[in-house]
Amino acid sequence: MANASPSQLVAVSELISAGVMLKKRLRKHYTIKKKRAVLQAIKSKTEREAAWSEGIPRWTLNDWMKDEEGTFAYEGSEKTLSRAPGRPETVPFSGELITFMKDARRDSEVLTAKTMACYVRDQYPEWLESYMVGKKDAATAYESQLRLLRRSAYRHGFVQRTPSGLKVICSTVFVLLNRSLLPLKRDMCSYFV
């Protein structure tokens, strides 16, 4: 590139900038249920009309139409056809637990996994006993319950809010700074009076 013409350098830089500007296209995934619904909906349409109305690329629809028999003959798990994405909720009373956590935060109480465990112990003793059945011992069950409650709280947007050591150090430094600047402040005030 040392002996390239200026027009070649401009062309190369334009290609590089165009390459930087291009977004990486993410591959879309469609469930069998979605494929079946689209194939039913496009029976009487042309390929272009179907692609435009469904918002699916023509080549994808073309592939689906080639394998239409296989799509409708699918005999896999029905869960994959109707299940919503995400992990299933393991705490059956998660709505009540979230309300408790919001109330604790609103009342400026410390919200920890231990306080949530106490709430569960007091409000849902039957569930707690059934949860402990498969555990090795009480200590293992308690630790497992704390992990479950922490994960549930994190999944619903609650993060631990505890004062860190840095806040304490900063407040101490601020007090010491005020004490050391007090004589200077007195001198400056007498200067302007």
Can you give the pLDDT at residue 88?
Answer: 63
* Residues 28-72 pLDDT 10s: 778 888 888 888 888 888 888 888 888 888 888 888 889 888 888
Architecture of the domain delimited by 30-85: Orthogonal Bundle (1.10)
* Residues 86-99 pLDDT 10s: 666 678 888 899 99
For the chain, domain boundaries:
30-85, 94-155
- Residue in 57, 59, 56 with CA at minimum distance from that of residue 34: 56
Question: If pLDDT is split at 50, 70 and 90, which confidence band does 171 have?
Answer: low
| CA 19/CA 46 separation, integer angstroms | 35
Q: Which residues contact 105 (CB under 8 A, 6 or more apart)?
A: 111, 158, 161
